[in-house]
Structure 1
């Protein structure tokens, strides 16, 4: 199964070489990599040229800088890269970040998982970050969810869900939609991917405004959004954090901001969230 790997990059001259080197060193060699230079103002184009000049598997797409909208920016760049390729030439479509380091057998094990399990639609490894000079599990999500920087889709599942959505929350929306279509999302826990941008940082802490917008664009109804806000507030041990999140969520509702998911997809997401709530909290 040939891989198509799309890597959006904006001002990543320091990190991108680590990502591209780790892909060049893969034990599995049948892939094409498209690096989408999203309006970089540093030497990212020069870094990309070093690889495209000496390895025909590497290509580049140059864009004017996308509008800085969390979630949508990176998906917009990804889609622009995707548009340049004939998907008939590939069996696996990947959206990778430009600041990760893959183990040498990453693609090999991803391909093996897809070949041996025809119901696998989305596969990836686990993210690790540097903390106190050690690489530790990132912990920003459960270990059964494939994170945004390391997404690998079976082409058929990717096409069936009509690609990924250009919105905040896209990297959860895809998994929910695929599951509803009968595809499995699978994390290969022994595949440790190093996330190099956030050295020593607590990657789990995000501002209240982010969470409010995230819950809105994910399509959560008011009840589920408030429950999710309460969960984040408990993590932060802050009552005010809860009210700031719901304030951001309600502001989005008031403005009636456009959702990038259909009404049916919104129902699917809310049903999945409600079922998860019943299992974990209500023990139903």
Structure 2
């Protein structure tokens, strides 16, 4: 199976070399890797060039965008800048962050899972961050959720869900739409990926309302958005974040921001999320 990987990278000079080292050492090498240097002001491009000179399957693409580190559209726009350089000969397409260190058998294990189940649309390991000298699972979300940092899609699933949405929340809507179209997804506990920078560490203040906005445009409705915001803010131990999330939702509602999904998809997603909430309660 051909694996294509796109890595958006904004000022990742201290991490991108470690990420590429771990991909070069894979027991099953990717067919293509494109690193999108997304308006970096450090020497990210120079470091990537050292790898493109040694490995023909690694390519550098430069992109001009905002110099702010904002989640959502900026990252996905950079992903598409790389994706547009690819041909259609892939079986698996991956969007990976530029600060990950993969175990050597990572890609080979993904292929094993895909070959075992024709309806498996997404599969990944888990992100681990370093705390007090130990690597622990980054637990901002449940273990069954595939983090936005390490998404890998079967081609047919990727195309059927409409690829990736240019909005914060894209890494939730992809899984929900996969379920909507009768695809499954899987996380493998044995695949421990080192995440060198905890999620959100460098996000600027401009992004504080984006989570709430994403819940609105994904048609969660206010009550589900309230619960989701409270849960995430609790995990981050910040009531201020909860206020920011709800404010973002209300701003999007007042502005009547356009939805990312249609009414039927929204109805399905709300029903699915309520089912999971009630299952956990009872």
Instruction: Tell me the residue number matched to 2:135.
Output: 135
After superposition, residues 1-284 of structure 1 pair within 5 angstroms as 1-66=1-66, 68=68, 69-87=70-88, 89-198=89-198, 209-232=209-232, 235=235, 242-281=242-281, 283=282
Task: Give aligned pairs, total.
Answer: 276
Confirm or deny: 8 A CA contact 2:168 2:211 kept in the other structure: no
* TM-aligned CA deviation for residue 198 of structure 1: 3.1
Relative distance call for 1:238 and 1:70 in structure 2 (3 A) is closer
Please state how far the C-alpha of 1:234 moved relative to its aligned partner.
5.0
Deviating above 6 A after TM superposition, structure 1's stretches of 4 or more consecutive aligned residues are 236-240
Measured at CA, do residues 103 and 254 of structure 1 come closer, stay the same or move farther in structure 2, by a change above 3 Å?
A: same
Gaps of 5+ in 2: none
Q: So what's the TM-score if we normalise by structure 2? A: 0.90
For normalisation by structure 1, the TM-score amounts to 0.89
* Alignment partners' CA distance in 1, 2:242 and 2:150: 30
Structure 1 residue 97 displacement after superposition: 0.5
Tell me if structure 1 keeps the 8 A contact 2:39–2:67. no
- Helix, strand or coil for the counterpart of 1:191? strand
CA–CA separation in structure 1 for the residues paired with 2:9 and 2:181: 31
Give, in angstroms, the shift of residue 269 of structure 1. 2.1
Unaligned regions of 5+ residues in structure 1, if any?
none
- Deviation, structure 1 residue 258: 2.7
Q: CA deviation at 1:248?
A: 2.7
**Is 2:10–2:38's contact at 8 Å kept on the other side of the alignment?**
yes
Cα distance between partner residues in 2 of 1:101 and 1:240: 32
- Tell me how far apart the structure 2 counterparts of residues 67 and 208 of structure 1 sit (CA, whole Å): 17
Matched position secondary structure for 1:54? coil
Distance 1:142 1:239, change over 3 A: closer
Kindly indicate whether the alpha-carbon contact (under 8 Å) linking 2:4 and 2:31 is maintained by their aligned counterparts in 1: yes
Aligned pair in 2 of structure 1 residues 91, 242: CA closer, same or farther (>3 Å)? closer
SS in 1 for 2:112: helix
Distance 1:100 1:2 in 2: 21
The alpha-carbon distance between structure 1 residues 241 and 4, as it changes in their structure 2 partners (threshold 3 A), is closer
